[in-house]
């Protein structure tokens, strides 16, 4: 028989638990759809992300049952949930792997393996807490849950922020401007860590809410969001973002300094005023298509005045109307990267 103290019998606790479970299941369903829509065939990382989401779903339905079925179902599905948590750490390692040395990679994945005995104990403690009168073991092991689950994720987040700032030299607002998707990823990471801290405090006297609380669910939701928003490893995503940044500034800034062979290519020095040329501005901002880019460059070429550097005129002519296969392929590469 399930322990009465473990059952959220009060209307307030039952409502909170049901609401948080519904939130988690709804988020997981949406993320599964996003993953299926964006995953590529044959990519192991994408498959693992999908499995991670599917494994977590069964645990979100135990509120529908009454004791003793409630306790048995909860303790059974928590096995899949714990596998999902550990799989998330493996996914985080795979995404972080290109930034780590061989030795650090071994420490990362090795430490994940070393904490597995705790999870075996946690599964047993969970069963005894929700299905027997013995509540002492789970009350002792539950505060250690975050310690054995989240340090790798926190390290991954810190390492990603460090690489963004020092290796790729992106500022926070700059990366959000170039790629709102990556900005959303960083926000999800930050929120997940906030809820991890809240979950840790909730199983201590600091926030005496009890062992059943919504914070771990919200932390898990935002951790899964980071996996779903960017399916590839972080280095691949940041390398692409870095290329996109060059194209972004090439096509949208008043002056462009991202092409090494044309270190002083500027729209301003060509006498081309975007603000005073509404038609040109409209074409210029339609850089999402080859035609839009070509029309903007053609208009810039027509409005170019003598006195500018010949290299600048050559640059404009090169990108107008696809006059050479090289120019056309370059325009396609830029617009494809931006998209």
Nearest 5°: the CA angle 325, 329, 335 is 145
Q: What is the DSSP string of 16-29?
A: HHHHHHHHHHHHHH
What pLDDT sits at residue 211? 60
- 187 & 273 share domain: no
**Residue 322: pLDDT over 50:** no
C-beta separation of 59 from 74 below 8 A: yes
Tally of domains in the chain: 2
**pLDDT tens string 220-243:** 999 999 999 988 989 988 888 887
Q: Does the pLDDT of residue 318 top 60, yes or no?
A: no
Q: Please compute the mean of the pLDDT values over residues 34-61 and round it to a whole number.
A: 94
246 in a structural domain: no
pLDDT on residue 251? 54
Whether residues 10 and 69 fall in one domain: yes
Asked if residues 135 and 6 have their Cβ atoms less than 8 Å apart, the reply is yes
| 18 in a structural domain | yes
User: Which of the four pLDDT bands, split at 50, 70 and 90, describes residue 250?
Assistant: low
Question: What's the distance, Cα to Cα, between the start and end of the chain in Å?
Answer: 57
Quick: pLDDT tens for 56-105. 999 999 888 888 888 899 999 999 999 999 999 999 999 999 999 999 99
What phi, psi does 23 have (nearest 5°)? -60, -45
Residue 107, pLDDT score: 96
Which of helix, strand or coil describes residue 205? coil
pLDDT at 132: 85
Residues 97, 89 contacting (CB under 8 angstroms) = no
Residue 265, domain extent: 253-338
Which one of 200, 233, 266 terminates a domain?
233
Residues 137 and 203 in one domain: yes
Dihedral Cα 76, 77, 83, 86, nearest 10 deg: -110
Q: Do 61 and 184 sit in the same domain of this protein?
A: yes
pLDDT value for 267: 40
Q: Which carries the bigger pLDDT value, residue 329 or residue 93?
A: 93
pLDDT at 272: 40
Banded model confidence at residue 202, pLDDT cuts 50, 70, 90: confident
Average pLDDT over residues 256-266: 40
CA 328, CA 62: separation in Å to the nearest integer?
58
Whether 155 is covered by a domain: the verdict is: yes
């Amino acid at each position: 028989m399930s322990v009465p103290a473990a059952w959220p019998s009060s209307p307030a606790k039952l409502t909170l638990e049901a609401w948080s479970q519904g939130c988690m299941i709804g988020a997981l369903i949406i993320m599964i759809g996003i993953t299926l829509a964006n995953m590529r065939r044959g990519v192991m990382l994408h498959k693992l992300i999908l499995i991670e989401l599917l494994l977590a779903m069964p645990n979100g339905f135990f509120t529908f049952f009454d004791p003793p079925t409630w306790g048995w179902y909860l303790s059974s599905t928590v096995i899949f949930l714990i596998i999902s948590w550990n799989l998330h750490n493996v996914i985080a390692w795979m995404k972080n792997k290109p930034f780590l040395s061989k030795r650090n990679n071994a420490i990362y994945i090795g430490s994940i393996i070393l904490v597995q005995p705790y999870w075996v104990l946690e599964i047993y403690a969970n069963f005894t807490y929700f299905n027997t009168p013995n509540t002492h073991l789970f009350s002792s092991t539950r505060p250690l849950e975050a310690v054995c689950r989240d340090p790798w994720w926190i390290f991954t987040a810190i390492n990603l922020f460090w690489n963004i700032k020092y290796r790729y030299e992106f500022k926070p607002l700059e990366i959000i401007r170039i790629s709102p998707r990556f900005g959303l990823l960083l926000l999800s990471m930050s929120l997940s860590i906030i809820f991890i801290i809240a979950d840790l405090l909730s199983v201590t006297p600091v926030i005496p809410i009890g062992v059943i609380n919504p914070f771990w669910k919200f932390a898990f939701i935002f951790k899964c969001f980071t996996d779903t928003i960017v399916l590839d490893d972080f280095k691949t995503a940041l390398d692409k973002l870095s290329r996109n940044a060059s194209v972004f500034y090439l096509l949208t800034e008043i002056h462009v300094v991202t092409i090494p062979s044309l270190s002083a290519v500027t729209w301003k020095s060509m006498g081309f005023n975007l603000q005073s040329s509404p038609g040109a501005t409209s074409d210029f901002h339609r850089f999402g298509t080859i035609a839009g880019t070509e029309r903007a460059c053609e208009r810039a070429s027509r409005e170019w005045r003598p006195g500018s550097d010949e290299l600048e005129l050559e640059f404009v002519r090169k990108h107008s109307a696809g006059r050479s296969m090289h120019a056309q392929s370059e325009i396609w590469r830029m617009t494809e990267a931006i998209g």
